[in-house]
Structure 1
Amino acid sequence: MQLDDLYRRVIMDHYKNPRNRGTFGDEAVTVNLNNPTCGDRISLQLLIEDDKIIDAKYTGEGCSISMSSASMMTEAVKGRTYEEALDIATRFSALMKGEDVQFDEYEEIEALSGVNKFPARIKCATLAWNALRKGIGEDSSTN
C-alpha cells in the first residue's frame, strides 16, 4: 500500500468516525471559528484545569480535511499542558508549510502532510488548530 493511500484512509477514517465530536456544558472554554472561503465551521470546546487541557470536543461542518484535522487535534491535545499543546500546534503549522515534522505522540497527524501541496486546503486543515490557539489564549493569526 502506498503511503498516500494510507494517509487518505486515515483522513477518511477520522472524517467518517470522528473522535471527540460533541459538546460539554457551560464549564468549557468555547471557540467558534469559520473559514469564509469554503464555509467550514468549527465550535471547539476545551475543559481546562490548571493550564492543562483535560478534555476537548468539537462540532462543526466542513470538508473531510477540516473535520479530520479537528478529530486528530482533539485526540492529540487531550491531557496536555498549554505548552505541550502549543508545541504540537507549532509543529502542525510547520507541517502545513511543507517542513518534515514528526509527531511521535500522535502520528496520525502526519496523514495531513499532503495538504501543503494544495494551498487552498491549508486553511481547512488549520481551522481547528487556530481555534485551539485562541482557546488557550494564543494569537491564531500566527498560523
Structure 2
Amino acid sequence: MSDLRELYQELIVDHYRHPHNFGPLDGANRHAEGVNPLCGDRLTLWLRVVDGVIEDARFEGVGCAISTASASLMTDALKGKTEAQAEALFAGFRALVTGGPDTAPAVALGKLEVLAGVREFPTRVKCATLAWHTLQAALHDDGRPVSTE
C-alpha cells in the first residue's frame, strides 16, 4: 500500500510542479473565480462549451500542491465531457474526498482517484474541492466569486 501511496504522491507533486492546462483560454465562453480564504488558494477557471460539450478547460492561480493538482487533473478530465457528465464528475469527486474509505463514487474517476487520500485530512478537502466548486460556478454562469467558506 505504501508503494501505491508514494506513486499517488508523485503524481500529485508532478501536477503541482507542471500543471496541465495552465493559463488563460482564448475563446472561453464560461469563466469563474474561486478562493479558499483559509489558506489563500486562488483560482480562475475558463471553459469553452459548445453545444453542451466542454471542448476545452484551462485555469490559472496560486495555491498549494493539492489545490493545483486537483485543478490540473480536473481540467484534463473535463475535456470532451458534456455538462451533465461534468456535474456527475463533481458529485463523484466530492464523494471521493469527503466520504469514508468504503465510499465508491457513482462514476469512474480515473486519475482523479489519486486525491482520495485527502479525505484523511479534513482541512485539505477545501483545497482539493476549490477547482470543483469553481467549475460549478462556471457551468451555471454564476458571476460571483466562489469561496470554500
Cα deviation digits, residues 110-131 of structure 1 (max 9, x gap): 1100001111000000000001
Q: Secondary structure in 2 aligned to 1:2?
A: helix
Matched, 1:35 2:36: yes
Question: 1:20-99 alignment to 2 at 5 Å?
Answer: 20-25=21-26, 27-98=28-99, 99=103
Higher relative contact order (CA 8 A, sep 6+): 2
Q: Compared with structure 1, are the counterparts of its residues 87 and 102 closer, same or farther at alpha carbon in structure 2 (3 Å cutoff)?
A: closer
Q: CA deviation at 1:103?
A: 5.9
2:136 to 133, 136, 141: 133
Contact 2:31/2:141 (8 A) holds in 1: no
Q: TM-score, normalised by structure 1?
A: 0.90
Question: 1:109-120 alignment to 2 at 5 Å?
Answer: 109-120=112-123
Supply the AA of the counterpart residue of 1:101.
Answer: P
Supply the AA of the counterpart residue of 2:105.
Answer: V
Q: Compared with structure 1, are the counterparts of its residues 91 and 118 closer, same or farther at alpha carbon in structure 2 (3 Å cutoff)?
A: same
d(CA) in 2 for partners of 1:133 and 1:75? 16
Matched, 1:7 2:5: no
Structure 2: unaligned runs, 5 residues or longer = none
Contact 1:33/1:131 (8 A) holds in 2: yes
d(CA) in 1 for partners of 2:72 and 2:25? 16
Structure 1: unaligned runs, 5 residues or longer = none
d(CA) in 1 for partners of 2:78 and 2:46? 12
Which residue in the other structure is 2:104 paired with? Answer: 100
Contact 1:10/1:108 (8 A) holds in 2: no
d(CA) in 1 for partners of 2:89 and 2:72? 14
Supply the AA of the counterpart residue of 1:83.
Answer: A
Matched, 1:18 2:19: yes
Q: TM-score, normalised by structure 2?
A: 0.86
* Matched-pair identity in %: 41
Q: CA deviation at 1:138?
A: 8.1
Q: CA deviation at 1:30?
A: 1.3
